[in-house]
């Protein structure tokens, strides 16, 4: 059982952020006091942070909202659907790190502040000219588009509200926006930026869509069924309640979960909820708050939510209980793991409270009745029991899987079978348990490669197989001593495949007579059929040339650069692209510019 002191936690959070701590603070007064503190700093001298944009702040994403395999570590500020909105430093300090990547945050700036925090600005289109020149010189020095540059303190000092970059759509994005983060510099933990007086209007309380009740032991039932049940929720007379207001019959150990989102004024985007508390007959059983977390623990989201429901129906449910293998730090009070034993024959009241950081509160209240009922337990045949807190090995003639300690959040009744595969695959298909059970750590999967001829061994990799469509996707890995081995992070259908096909290079700025069709740049689309692109190089007139790479559009682009490029002559360009299995394609061309 985990029990942490609210006061101590909040104090720790605010102290590490350099904020003043009020010692008499209690959790129920936390939000009003915080707002008092912030309005003080608003009306007083300069605020600690200012908005990084000069346009009205609307959010398309908030802190700790639920994303695939992670919690969102910042806020996403809308940029009116366009790129090129000027970005300003939220506080004084110095640029401490600059990252350029074809995925993730794309172009990103990190600014370290004297109060012990670092602000992060992601998916930028471009850096301010002097910063851009510095980055480009480092890219030519390292002969790499992708760079991660630590920057010394004296190089780019910045004042609060100083222009630093333009917003964009670089890296892993679904549209133009600014990803903005505040981190504790020492621990690198992201903290909730809305602790600070950002001009974000929020009068909208979280919305609750549905409730899930899960029977948690063999003889438990919900609505006389051994499976979990989902109840639609409606809003009436200022409160959320179950549709038609039923008294739900349950028995045994049960857990609750809710599907909910929060919203900000003037924006339709679904955001994440800040905190949740679950009460059983007026007593608190479970509580979390999204104040801060560490990147190391972000993957525990797969235990925080009902993972099976996400995989099957793409719905996100916050569970109000803690799995034994879930070490997430956001839970500030948990009693009996958040689970209820309902065997007393009585009616009970469950109350779930959701709130945002601006004090808007939503309440769902409903009744359950303890009703004894003969349930035929669902017993499944399984191959092996895997303990969540132990290292486990599963081994058969053609397959071995090593699961390190703490790979699961609960014990797993592991199932495995073999199926014959189609002829493009070089092993049977191994049906490895179910993709609805999450893996926290990577497991080492080895499949016997007895159908593989020697000269093809270096082209072998593991793939996941969609048995409905036959579609295969790379799971990586390589041949070693009669097996193909890869680290996997999800269950599913696995087999051995080959990648012998080189990546494709498609010119986008050259016509069939090799004449340039674009004025200031030259672009190519680069794609690979299976193992994925490992590296690419552009050599222009015998020298390494910077090609920017955007993985989501498969595009590489070189901008002609007066400092490094001589005009009015014929140029030689070689583009070389290699995949993860060593297949290589070279595109050579010459053009006049
Ligand atoms: Zn973001």
DSSP-assigned letters across all residues of 278-299 = EEETTEEEEEEE-SB--GGGGG
Ligand 1 mean position to 397 CA, how many Å?
A: 45
Centroid of ligand 1 to alpha carbon of 262 (angstroms): 16
Q: How far is the CA of 122 from the centre of ligand 1 (A)?
A: 8
CA of 10 to the centre of ligand 1 (A): 25
CA of 445 to the centre of ligand 1 (A): 33
Distance (angstroms) between ligand 1 centre and the Cα of 117 equals: 18
How far apart are alpha carbons 534 and 514 in whole angstroms?
A: 27
313/11 Cα distance (integer angstroms): 39
What is the CB neighbour count within 10 angstroms for residue 167? 28
Q: How many CA atoms lie within 13 A of 21 on its CB side?
A: 14
Residue from 532, 498, 525, 492 nearest 510 by CA: 525
Q: Supply 519's token pair.
A: 């004025």
Structure tokens at 418: 């073999």
Token reading at 187: 């621990």
Query: Is the whole-model pTM more than 0.85?
Result: yes
Q: How far is the CA of 120 from the centre of ligand 1 (A)?
A: 10
Instruction: Give 129's DSSP letter.
Output: H
Distance 104 CA to ligand 1 centre (A): 10
Ligand 1: centre distance to CA 365 (Å)? 33
Whole-angstrom distance, CA of residue 255 vs CA of residue 341? 9
Per-residue pLDDT at 335? 97
Compute, in angstroms, the gap from residue 105 CA to the centroid of ligand 1.
8
pLDDT averaged over consecutive 10-residue blocks of the chain (593 residues)?
A: 36 38 35 37 65 94 96 96 97 98 98 97 98 98 98 97 98 96 97 87 94 94 95 93 96 97 92 97 97 96 98 98 97 96 96 95 97 82 95 97 97 96 92 97 96 93 93 97 97 97 96 88 97 97 96 96 86 97 96 89
Ligand 1 centroid to residue 61 C-alpha, Å: 7
**Terminal Cα-to-Cα distance of the chain (whole angstroms):** 70
Q: How far, in Å, from the CA of 191 to the mean position of ligand 1? A: 13
Looking at residue 276, its pLDDT comes to 98
Name the residue with tokens 């029991």. Answer: 385
Please state the φ and ψ torsions of residue 30, each to the nearest 5 degrees. -60, -50
Q: Which of 68, 69, 63 is nearest to 120 (CA)?
A: 63
Distance (Å) of CA 238 to CA 316, 359, 364: 24, 16, 10
468: which 2 tokens?
A: 């409905």
Cα 172 to averaged position of ligand 1 atoms, centre (Å) = 9
Q: What is the per-residue pLDDT for 450?
A: 87
Ligand 1 centroid to Cα of residue 280, in Å, is 35
For residue 199, what pLDDT is reported?
Answer: 82
What is the reported pLDDT for 45? 59
Please tell me the distance between residue 123's alpha carbon and the centre of ligand 1 in angstroms: 8
For ligand 1, the distance from its centroid to the CA atom of residue 58, given in whole angstroms, is: 13
How much distance in Å is there from the Cα of 190 to the middle of ligand 1?
Answer: 12
Q: Read off the tokens for 388.
A: 């969540």
Tell me how far the alpha carbon of residue 159 is from its chain's centroid: 31
Backbone phi, psi, residue 202, to 5°: -150, 95
| Cα 133 to ligand 1 centre (Å) | 26
pLDDT for 49 equals 94
CA 182 to ligand 1 center in whole angstroms: 12
**Ligand 1 geometric centre to CA of 539 (Å):** 34
Tell me how far the alpha carbon of residue 179 lies from the centroid of ligand 1, in angstroms.
Answer: 4
Cα(77) to ligand 1 centroid in Å equals 8
Kindly give the distance from the C-alpha atom of residue 74 to the centroid of ligand 1, in angstroms, as a whole number: 6
- Rounded-to-integer distance, Cα 571 and Cα 589, Å: 8
pLDDT of residue 240: 97
The alpha carbon of 489 and the centre of ligand 1 are apart by a number of angstroms equal to 23
Angle at 471 between CA 468 and CA 473, to 5 degrees: 130
Q: Which residues contact 141 (CB under 8 A, 6 or more apart)?
A: none
Query: What's the gap in Å between 119 CA and the centre of ligand 1?
Result: 13
CA of 518 to the centre of ligand 1 (A): 32
170: tokens are 């670089």
> Is 180 within 8 Å of 167 (Cβ atoms)?
no
Ligand 1 centre from 31 Cα, in Å?
24
Span from the CA of 75 to the centroid of ligand 1 (angstroms): 6
Q: Cα of 400 to ligand 1 centre, how many Å?
A: 38
pLDDT for 266: 85
Task: Give CA–CA dist 137/282, Å, rounded.
Answer: 63
CA–centroid distance, residue 173 to ligand 1 (Å): 8
Å from CA of 263 to ligand 1 middle: 16
How many whole angstroms from 72 Cα to the centroid of ligand 1? 6
| Alpha carbon of 548 to ligand 1 centroid (Å) | 21
535 alpha carbon to ligand 1 midpoint, in Å? 26
The helix/strand/coil state of 105 is: coil
Separation of 387 CA from ligand 1 center, angstroms? 35
| CB count in 10 Å sphere of residue 391 | 12
3-state secondary structure of 500: coil
How many Å lie between the centroid of ligand 1 and the Cα of residue 60?
9
User: Residue 73 C-alpha to ligand 1 middle, in angstroms?
Assistant: 7
């Amino acid at each position: 059982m985990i029990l942490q002191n609210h006061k101590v936690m909040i104090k720790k959070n605010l102290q590490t952020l350099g904020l003043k701590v009020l010692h008499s603070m209690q959790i129920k007064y936390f939000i009003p006091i915080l707002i008092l503190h912030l309005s003080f700093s608003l009306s007083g001298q300069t605020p600690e942070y200012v908005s990084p944009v000069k346009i009205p702040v609307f959010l398309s994403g908030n802190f700790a909202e639920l994303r695939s395999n992670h919690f969102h570590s910042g806020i996403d500020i809308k940029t009116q659907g366009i790129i090129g909105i000027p970005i300003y430093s939220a506080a004084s300090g110095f640029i401490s790190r600059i990252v350029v990547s074809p995925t993730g945050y794309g172009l990103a700036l990190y600014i370290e502040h004297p109060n012990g925090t670092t602000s992060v600005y992601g998916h930028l289109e471009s850096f301010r000219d002097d910063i851009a020149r510095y980055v480009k010189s480092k890219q030519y020095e390292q002969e790499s588009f992708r760079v991660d540059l630590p920057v010394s303190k004296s190089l780019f000092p910045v004042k609060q509200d100083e222009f630093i970059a333009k917003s964009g759509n670089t890296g892993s994005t679904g549209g133009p926006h600014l990803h903005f983060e505040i981190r504790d510099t020492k621990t690198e933990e992201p903290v909730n930026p809305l602790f600070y007086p950002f001009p974000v209007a929020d009068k909208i309380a979280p919305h609750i869509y549905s409730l899930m009740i899960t029977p948690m032991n063999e003889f438990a039932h919900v609505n006389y069924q051994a499976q979990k049940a989902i109840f639609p929720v409606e809003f009436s007379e200022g409160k959320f309640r179950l549709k038609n207001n039923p008294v739900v019959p349950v028995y045994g150990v049960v857990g609750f979960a809710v599907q909910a989102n929060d919203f900000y004024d003037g924006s339709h985007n679904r955001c994440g909820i800040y905190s949740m508390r679950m009460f059983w007959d007026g007593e608190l059983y479970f509580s979390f708050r999204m104040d801060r977390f560490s990147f190391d623990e972000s993957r525990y989201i797969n235990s925080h939510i009902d993972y099976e429901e996400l995989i099957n129906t793409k719905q996100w449910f916050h569970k109000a209980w803690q799995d034994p293998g879930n070490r997430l730090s956001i839970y500030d009070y948990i009693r009996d793991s958040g689970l209820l034993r309902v065997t007393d024959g009585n009616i009970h009241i469950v109350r779930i409270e959701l709130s945002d950081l601006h004090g808007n509160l939503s309440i769902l209240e409903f009744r359950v009745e303890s009703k004894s009922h003969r349930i035929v337990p669902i017993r499944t045949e399984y191959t092996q029991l895997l303990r969540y807190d132990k290292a486990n090995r599963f081994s058969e003639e053609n397959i071995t899987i090593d699961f390190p300690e703490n790979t699961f959040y609960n014990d797993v009744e592991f199932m495995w079978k073999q199926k014959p595969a189609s002829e493009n695959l070089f092993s049977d298909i191994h049906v490895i348990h179910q993709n609805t059970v999450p893996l926290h750590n990577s497991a080492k999967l080895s499949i016997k490669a007895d159908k593989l001829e020697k000269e093809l061994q270096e082209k072998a990799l593991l793939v996941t197989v969609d048995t409905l469509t036959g579609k295969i996707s790379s799971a990586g890995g390589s041949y070693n001593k009669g097996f193909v081995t890869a680290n996997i992070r999800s269950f599913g259908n696995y087999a051995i495949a080959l990648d012998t096909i080189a990546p494709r290079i498609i010119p986008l700025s050259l016509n069939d007579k090799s004449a340039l069709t674009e004025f200031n740049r030259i672009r190519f689309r680069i794609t690979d059929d299976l193992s994925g692109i490992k590296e690419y190089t552009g050599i222009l007139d015998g020298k390494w040339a910077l090609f920017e790479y955007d993985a989501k559009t498969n595009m590489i682009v070189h901008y002609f650069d007066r400092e490094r490029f001589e005009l009015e002559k014929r140029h030689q360009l070689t583009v070389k692209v290699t995949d993860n299995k060593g297949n290589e394609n070279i595109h050579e061309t010459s053009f006049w510019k």
